[in-house]
Every structure is written in C-alpha cells, then in structure tokens.
C-alpha cells in the first residue's frame, strides 16, 4: 500500500486549505468527514441500524439523517452516544482503508480533524499537523462560521490541545501568516513524502 500521510489540526486551523495545496500537486485524499457522511446514506446498513435504534424522528423529509436531531439525542444520552460510536467507527475505518487502498498517487493524504481524538495514529505512516495560535484559530473560525466565541471555545476545549498535537506530529505546517505561505511549505513536504514513498515501495 502507498505511504499514508495523516493530516490533522484543530478547528479552523487550515486543514482544508492545506489539503487543497496537496491536491493541486496530484495527491489523492481520503477525508474522514466525507466518509462519515457516505456510510450513513439512506438505506445503507448503518442508516438502517440507526433508524431502527432511534426511530424515524431523526430523519429529514428527504430521508437523510437529521444530524442536529441526532446530535441532540446523543448529547443527553451517553449510552446512545456510545452505541452510535461503536456502530460507526469500525464502518468508517473500514471504508477509509478501502479508499486508501484504491488511491493511485505516490502517497495518499488522510484528512481527519479528529485523528488524534479517535486514535487513528496507528493507521498513518506519518502525521502532519497544521498549527496556528489559538487566537487565530478562534478568529478564523468565527469569520468563516459565525456563531459565538463561546461556542467555538467549547469545541476547542473538547479537542486535544495544541501541545498534544505538536507532540504527536512528525511534520508541522505553520499557518499563522497569509495563505500564500502554505504553498512553499507544502512543496517542501511533498518532496520529503515522495522520497519516503519511494523508500517504502522498495
């Protein structure tokens, strides 16, 4: 299998922006958020189990899961939350493995906001962290999503700390300046990953 580079970072750190720079170099990616939505499409096995467990009250008129309703439900019911995670995590992991195995670029990016929170380190050969000071994380997230400073701060508190992320990182992209600075860092990492991928293929 190709070299897998995990890409993570806190909310609003710039993962999508960094992932786009790798995509522009022809690097394929598997996105944990995208996979998490794919595996619960209407009538899929996971969708069927979720509807059987929670009832049709957690469906939208178009039969897609009503994520807000589901979030509300599991927020107040820890057992339901555990049930849902136990159902979905193995399915998501398996689907991600399948997509990683199908990728044809010299190395593959696995984009996962909660890579460390969900203990996916062992699934990647190399961990790349997008790093920004908390102040900027907060500012950029508010600018993009709106909402209150408190809401964003609560999400940041629920995620692993900046220090823990940096401690786990093999490579770090500093995204504290303008977006243009990302390209040069990505170009340099690309060369490193191509070399590592060639080594792995030997």
Site for ligand ATP, rule CB under 6 A = 9, 11-17, 113, 140, 144, 175, 178-179
Nearer Cβ to ligand ATP, position 26 or 147? 147
Tokens found for residue 3: 């070299």
Q: How far apart are CA 52 and CA 43, in angstroms?
A: 11
Q: How far is the CB of 61 from ligand ATP (least distance, A)?
A: 27
Q: How far apart are CA 104 and CA 101, in angstroms?
A: 8
Nearer Cβ to ligand ATP, position 17 or 118? 17
Nearer Cβ to ligand ATP, position 147 or 179? 179
Strand order in the sheet with 28-31: 28-31, 107-111, 3-8, 126-131, 171-174
Q: How far is the CB of 33 from ligand ATP (least distance, A)?
A: 8
Beta bridge partners of 114: none
Q: How far apart are CA 155 and CA 51, in angstroms?
A: 27
Q: How far apart are CA 32 and CA 174, in angstroms?
A: 22
Contact between 131 and 8 (Cβ < 8 Å): no
Q: How far apart are CA 169 and CA 7, in angstroms?
A: 10
Q: How far is the CB of 104 from ligand ATP (least distance, A)?
A: 24
Nearer Cβ to ligand ATP, position 70 or 152? 152
Q: How far is the CB of 127 from ligand ATP (least distance, A)?
A: 15
Contact between 101 and 2 (Cβ < 8 Å): no
Nearer Cβ to ligand ATP, position 59 or 182? 182
Q: How far is the CB of 129 from ligand ATP (least distance, A)?
A: 11
């Amino acid at each position: 299998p190709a070299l897998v580079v995990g890409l993570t970072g806190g909310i609003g750190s710039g993962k999508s922006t960094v992932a786009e720079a790798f995509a522009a170099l022809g690097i394929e990616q598997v996105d944990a958020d995208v996979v998490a939505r794919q595996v619960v499409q209407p009538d899929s096995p996971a969708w069927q189990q979720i509807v059987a467990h929670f009832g049709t009250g957690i469906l939208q008129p178009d039969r897609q899961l009503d994520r807000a309703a589901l979030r509300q439900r599991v927020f107040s019911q820890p057992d339901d939350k555990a049930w849902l995670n136990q159902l979905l995590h193995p399915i998501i992991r398996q689907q991600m493995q399948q997509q990683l195995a199908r990728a044809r670029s010299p190395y593959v990016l696995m984009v996962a906001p909660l890579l460390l929170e969900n203990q996916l380190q062992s699934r990647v050969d190399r961990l790349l962290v997008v790093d920004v000071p908390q102040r900027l994380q907060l500012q950029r997230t508010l600018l993009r999503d709106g909402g209150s400073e408190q809401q964003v701060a609560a999400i940041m508190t629920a995620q692993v700390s900046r220090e823990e992320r940096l401690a786990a990182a093999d490579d770090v992209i500093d995204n504290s300046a303008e977006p243009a600075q990302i390209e040069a860092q990505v170009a340099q990492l690309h060369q490193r990953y191509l070399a590592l991928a060639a080594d792995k293929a030997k």
